[in-house]
Chain A
Amino acid sequence: MSSDLETQDHGAPTFAIVMPGQPGDNPTTPKNVPHKGGAVNPSVDDLRVKFGAAIGRHEVGWGETTVYVERTKVREICAWLQSDPSQSYEYLSDVTAVEYRDQVRPIEVVWHIRSLKFRRFLRLKVELPKDGKTPLDVPSVWPVWKGADWLERECYDMFGITFAEHPDLRRILLWEQYKEGFPLRKDFPLRGRFSRAEQLKNALAADPEARYSMEEISVLEAFTDLPADMRKRLGGGEKVGE
Chain B
Amino acid sequence: MATLVGESGKKTRMVEMEIKPRSLESGFAGGMEPEFEGEHMLINIGPQHPATHGVLRLVLELDGETVVRCIPHVGYLHCGFEKIGEYRQYNQIIPWTDREDYLNSMGNNVAFVLGAERLFGIEITERCTVLRVIAMELSRIISHLVWLGTTCIDIGAFTPFLWSFQERENVYKLLEGWTGARLTTSGTRVGGMIADVPDGWVDGLKGFLERFPKTLDQCDRMLTRNAIWVGRTVGLGVMSPEEAMNYGLSGPMLRASGVAYDVRKDFPYLDYETYDFDVPVGTNGDVYDRFLVRQQELRESVRILEQAVKRLPDGPVNVDDPRVILPSKTKATSEMESMIHHFKLVMEGPRPPIGETYVPIESPKGEKGYYFVSDGTAKPVRWRIRPPSYVNLSAIPKMVEGHLLSDVIAINASIDIVMGEIDR
Pair A94/B280 contact, Cβ less than 8 Å: no
Q: Which residue on chain B has the smallest CB distance to residue A148? A: B248
Which A residues touch B259, using CB under 8 A? 18, 20, 116
Q: Which residue on chain B has the smallest CB distance to residue A94? A: B386
User: Residue A26 at the B interface, CB < 8 A?
Assistant: yes
Which A residues touch B243, using CB under 8 A? 146
- Bound Cα distance A123, B281 (Å): 28
**From A26, A149, A216, contact of B59 by CB (8 A):** A216
Pair A6/B246 contact, Cβ less than 8 Å: no
Pair B423/A94 contact, Cβ less than 8 Å: no
Pair B234/A147 contact, Cβ less than 8 Å: no
Which A residues touch B271, using CB under 8 A? 29
Contact with B along A99-123 (1 / 0, CB 8 A): 1111000000010100010010101
Which A residues touch B227, using CB under 8 A? 5, 8, 10
Which A residues touch B266, using CB under 8 A? 19-21, 27, 116, 119
Q: A94-B384, A112-B371, A151-B391 are in contact. Are A29 and B225 (CB under 8 A)?
A: no
Which A residues touch B71, using CB under 8 A? 213, 215-216
Which A residues touch B121, using CB under 8 A? 33, 35
User: Residue B26 at the A interface, CB < 8 A?
Assistant: no
Which B residues touch A171, using CB under 8 A? 75
Pair B87/A190 contact, Cβ less than 8 Å: yes
Pair A146/B357 contact, Cβ less than 8 Å: no
Which A residues touch B245, using CB under 8 A? 90-91, 116
- Bound Cα distance A27, B269 (Å): 10
Which B residues touch A116, using CB under 8 A? 245, 259, 261, 266
Which B residues touch A14, using CB under 8 A? 282-283
In the assembled complex, the CB of B54 is this many whole angstroms from the nearest CB of chain A, namely: 14
Q: Which residue on chain B has the smallest CB distance to residue A224? A: B1
Pair A123/B358 contact, Cβ less than 8 Å: yes
Pair A32/B423 contact, Cβ less than 8 Å: no
Pair A219/B61 contact, Cβ less than 8 Å: yes
Contact with B along A193-215 (1 / 0, CB 8 A): 00000000000000001001101
Pair A184/B82 contact, Cβ less than 8 Å: yes
Q: Which residue on chain B has the smallest CB distance to residue A92? A: B248
Interface range, B side: 35 or more
A105-164: which residues lie under 8 A (CB-CB) from chain B?
110, 112, 116, 119, 121, 123, 145-151, 154, 158
- Bound Cα distance A213, B72 (Å): 11
Which B residues touch A151, using CB under 8 A? 248, 391
Pair A27/B224 contact, Cβ less than 8 Å: no
Q: Which residue on chain A has the smallest CB distance to residue B248? A: A147
Which B residues touch A183, using CB under 8 A? 80, 83
- Bound Cα distance A71, B121 (Å): 32
User: Residue A44 at the B interface, CB < 8 A?
Assistant: no
Interface range, A side: 35 or more
* Chain A, interface SS category: loop
In the assembled complex, the CB of B291 is this many whole angstroms from the nearest CB of chain A, namely: 10
B357-381: which residues lie under 8 A (CB-CB) from chain A?
357-358, 360, 367, 369, 371, 373, 375, 381
Pair A174/B360 contact, Cβ less than 8 Å: no
User: Residue B212 at the A interface, CB < 8 A?
Assistant: no
Pair B221/A147 contact, Cβ less than 8 Å: no
Pair A96/B371 contact, Cβ less than 8 Å: yes
User: Residue A37 at the B interface, CB < 8 A?
Assistant: no
User: Residue B176 at the A interface, CB < 8 A?
Assistant: no
- Bound Cα distance A94, B246 (Å): 13
A-B contact pairs, 23 of them (CB 8 A): A5-B227, A15-B280, A15-B281, A20-B261, A21-B266, A62-B119, A98-B356, A98-B381, A116-B245, A121-B267, A121-B358, A147-B247, A147-B391, A147-B395, A150-B390, A151-B391, A174-B75, A174-B78, A184-B82, A190-B87, A213-B71, A220-B42, A225-B13
Please list the residues of chain A having a beta carbon within 8 angstroms of any beta carbon in chain B: 5-6, 8-10, 13-21, 26-29, 31-33, 35, 61-62, 64, 66, 90-94, 96, 98-102, 110, 112, 116, 119, 121, 123, 145-151, 154, 158, 171-175, 183-184, 188, 190, 209, 212-213, 215-216, 219-220, 222, 225
The 3 closest A-B pairs by CB, nearest first: A147-B248, A173-B75, A150-B394
Known: A173-B74, A219-B42. 7 other contacts (CB 8 A): A5-B225, A8-B227, A21-B266, A112-B371, A146-B395, A151-B248, A225-B1
